[in-house]
Amino acid sequence: MNRSYHNFVVLSWNVRGLSQSDKRVVVKDNIDKNHPQLVCLQETKLNVVDSFCFRPLMPPNLEALRAKPADATRGGLVTAWCSSLFTLVHHDFSAYTITVVLQSTTSDLRLALTNVYGPADHAFTDQFLSDLSNVASTINDPWIIIGDFNLTRAPSDKNTTSFNSSLASRFNQMIDDLQLIELPLLDRLFTWTNKRAEPTLARLDRAFFTTEFGNIFPGSTLTSGHRPTSDHTPILASIQTNIPKPSIFRLERSWLLDPSFLHSVLPSWQSVSRTGDAARVMVAQVKAARLASKVWLRKHRSPPFIYHNCYFLICLFDYLEEFRSLSLGECCLRDQCSNRLQLFLNQKAAY
């Protein structure tokens, strides 16, 4: 089998509704800055599921998608992927999932990805677990299953003592029966908060994979992203082989909007001697411009300070909240950062 597979990132996030335009701006920005090749969104709360509705939410490279409508204002799933990396073989909907089988455009890799949103009402938990088992019976490819399961596995998955051992036992039994392996979350304990002054925190968002998938991508890891909106933290599955990814320079069109870019790069292009073979001159000019672009980029890599600082403070307070209650001043500052970030993103979207 050809093992020259591309590494890629899967972003999974319970967005808690996408009906408000301001919220869609925040969600799109958060997807943009994580650069995923596949996106799984849960709880969209949208009844319209055509591509026209979801196209503005996704970066330009994530132009292929499948969506499952919400039941009234409950649920709703979206799975999107980069069509230059994967083509759709087939897809399937179940009561709580979307499954897509994707074929790599650059290798013989074929994989199955299941986007999950489990019921918050545990009266339906057995139905949910049965649904997952039925989905598993249809999978014949390396499989990754990711999303909001709305279930905990152990007392350590919550910051309170209210742990339902019966639900956890049934969840763990299904995982064992399907022979799934959980991808451990490396950088935080919990992925959900009820956003109260003394919050309840829980680990509800997870990623699992089969042994076959793990053998192909042994370097895979799971981390978390920023939570600028929603009560869930997005999780990022970095799917990796042991083959190092080459460093490729790409000119970003957005750099041309910075007045200092051409001022810094054009002198290097023009400094190349134009004597001799035309093709050799062109190659030398491209190399000189590439080097100047890298130098320029090192000095202009950071985003605007207000944008960076707001995200940093939101992330910091989310982290501190896992170990202690935030003070009134800290809660107010986090809210102010969220409001300021929303204002900045609206300005950016208008621009």
| Phi, psi at 257, each rounded to 5° | -80, -15
Instruction: Return the higher-pLDDT residue of 248 and 100.
Output: 100
Cross-sheet strand order for the sheet of 8-14: 64-68, 77-81, 38-42, 8-14, 235-239, 221-224
pLDDT digits (tens, 9 = 90+) for 216-247: 999 899 999 999 999 999 999 999 886 555 66
Residue 350, pLDDT score: 47
Are 105 and 89 in contact, with CB atoms under 8 Å apart? no
In this prediction, residue 343 has a pLDDT band, given cuts at 50, 70 and 90, of: confident
Radius of gyration of the chain (CA): 23
pLDDT digits (tens, 9 = 90+) for 272-312: 888 878 888 888 888 998 899 888 887 766 455 777 888 88
**Whole-model pTM?**
0.73
The conformation of residue 120, written as its DSSP 8-state character, comes to S
| Phi, psi at 38, each rounded to 5° | -135, 145
Half-sphere exposure of 125 (CA within 13 A, CB side): 18
Asked whether residue 142 carries a pLDDT value surpassing 90, the answer given is: yes
CA-wise closest residue to 216 among 3, 36, 7 = 3
Query: Which residues pair with residue 147 across a beta bridge?
Result: 116, 206
The whole-angstrom separation of Cα 12 and Cα 319 is 19
Residue 59, pLDDT score: 86
Can you list the pairs that 261-268 forms with residues at least 24 positions away whose Cβ atoms lie under 8 Å? 261/293, 261/296, 261/300, 264/292, 264/295, 264/296, 265/289, 265/292, 265/293, 265/296, 267/292, 268/292
Mean model confidence pLDDT for the chain: 89
Asked whether residue 119 carries a pLDDT value surpassing 90, the answer given is: yes
